Structure 1
Amino acid sequence: MDPIAPESADEVFLTAEEYEAVHAAVRTVAGSRGAGQPQTLNSLFEQWDELVHEVEEGYGWSAPELSNDLGCRTALAHVWRLLPPRVRAIRQPELDEIDRRFHATTVGWPGRDDQEGQWWLRRVPRHLEAETSQRSTHGWPMGWDVMAFPKPEAVEIAD
């Protein structure tokens, strides 16, 4: 069974209709994860939380890989509109906290509004880990040189 609410002292009970609506929303949007296991609302939250933790520690992959990894947050955004209002209300504080952490550990793209739409796709980790000291003409490490703007000063690169 996939509980809808995070563990807490106050248990929240959803109706059978709410559970089915959650599962249907996730099936419609998110498909399956590795080994053909179906995604769940909890698994999407776990993936988002784990990615944010990785970014907080220092992201060691490339810009295209980050874009791929952010698919879990994009899936959450698409699922969110399909969830019953009560489920959204229950899970909103958790989503807000993970989003806040991501916002704090990333830098917005210069000249781009990062408050609208899929804002998480227009942010760069503050701490990047690079395998080489080589930098592009814009200051990005290999794998990040696809960025169409110079590396912001707030982004630190560890070799």
Structure 2
Amino acid sequence: MEDVEEGSARCAPELDDDICCRDALARVWSLLPPRVQAVRRPELDELDGRFRAATVPWPDREEPHRWWHYRIPRVLEAEAGAPRPQGWPLGWEVLPFPRPDGVRVVE
């Protein structure tokens, strides 16, 4: 979470891989006893809130199931002088749209 909040140096596929643990949690959440869900829900909500605050949604996209895969860190790190196709730092140009205004690239 801190890496995303401070500015991600990861590329899009690496971040997607890193957040796959959130997929696992979503798959098992309904299997947890209600007491465990009740105790852990505030923590999950806080972390999800932090992730939403540190990211922007994909443009023109409703918040889908597995919404965390369709968000982009607000701050992305890039190498100085490296090309930036459609405004993206390398590793993010795989996204099917230009960099949104809400995403800042820093060197």
Partner SS, residue 76 of structure 2: strand
Please list every run of 5 or more consecutive structure 2 residues that lacks an aligned counterpart in the other structure: none
By how many angstroms is 1:82 displaced?
1.1
Q: Deviations over 1:94-133 (max 9, x none)?
A: 000000000001000001112x310000000000011243
Q: Deviations over 1:45-78 (max 9, x none)?
A: xxxxxxx211001100100001100111111111
**What's 1:56 paired with?**
5
User: Does residue 93 of structure 2 align to residue 145 of structure 1?
Assistant: yes
**What's 2:27 paired with?**
78
**What's 2:67 paired with?**
119
Cα distance in 2 between the residues matched to 1:93 and 1:53: 19
Partner SS, residue 60 of structure 2: coil
Cα distance in 1 between the residues matched to 2:72 and 2:34: 31
By how many angstroms is 1:87 displaced?
0.5
Alignment of structure 1 residues 37-116 onto 2, 5 Å: 52-114=1-63, 116=64
Identity %: 55
Greater relative contact order (CA < 8 Å, ≥ 6 in sequence): 2
**What's 1:22 paired with?**
none
Segments of 4+ moved more than 6 angstroms: none
By how many angstroms is 1:145 displaced?
0.5
Aligned length, in residue pairs: 106
Cα distance in 1 between the residues matched to 2:29 and 2:80: 39
TM-score (norm 1): 0.64
TM-score (norm 2): 0.94
Q: Is the 8 A contact 1:132 1:142 kept in 2?
A: no
